[in-house]
Copies of this chain bind each other. A is one copy, B any other.
Amino acid sequence: MPKSCHADIPRVNYSAAMDAWDDPRLTDVGLLLEAHAGLIAVLSRVHARHGLAGSDFDTLLRLARSPGRALRMTDLAAQLGLSTSGTTRIVDRLEGRGLARRKATAADRRSWTVVLTATGERTLRDDVPELLTAIQRAVIDPLPPERYAALVAGLRQLRDALRPDATIGS
């Protein structure tokens, strides 16, 4: 169909505003949101093969990285960037599946310490290699090494500038 068939359609008068809706700052932010959504889809697909949600995996990983494979509930919540009640629910799930367990915290009877179980560590050990493969294939391989490096450097500086940690308490 030739374009002439639309040529006579009366123009709407809000075209000046349209520029604001397409401001590059808006579209740049959109890029990060879309990249994030795509990345989450890739990661979730891997985790799902091990019966894990993304937040379950994050929790297991935080525990695995901590001294003694353990963290107090409050510290875990801070690392996850979640509320303490949300963390309570995640740990409930993990404990129900035997991937983590609560034990009393020495010297503070108000607190619980969450410990990664052997089963939890095994689950993580099964998941991580698949995850690394997926990351390699989906995000690293498609980008020229130097561009990938620039992306990571930019993300690091952005993360530091945004200080998500500082906003958690707000």
Contacts and interface: CB of A to CB of B under 8 A. Distances in A.
Contacts of A151: 150-151, 154-155, 158
Interface stretch (A37-45, A84-92, A97-105, A107-115): A37-45
Contacts of A18: 64-65
A153 to B, nearest CB: 7
B38 A32 contact: no
What DSSP secondary structure best describes chain A's contact surface? helix
Copies of this chain in the oligomer: 2
Contact of A25 (B22, B64, B132, B153): B132
Interface in A54-101: 61, 64-65, 68-69, 81
A4 interface: no
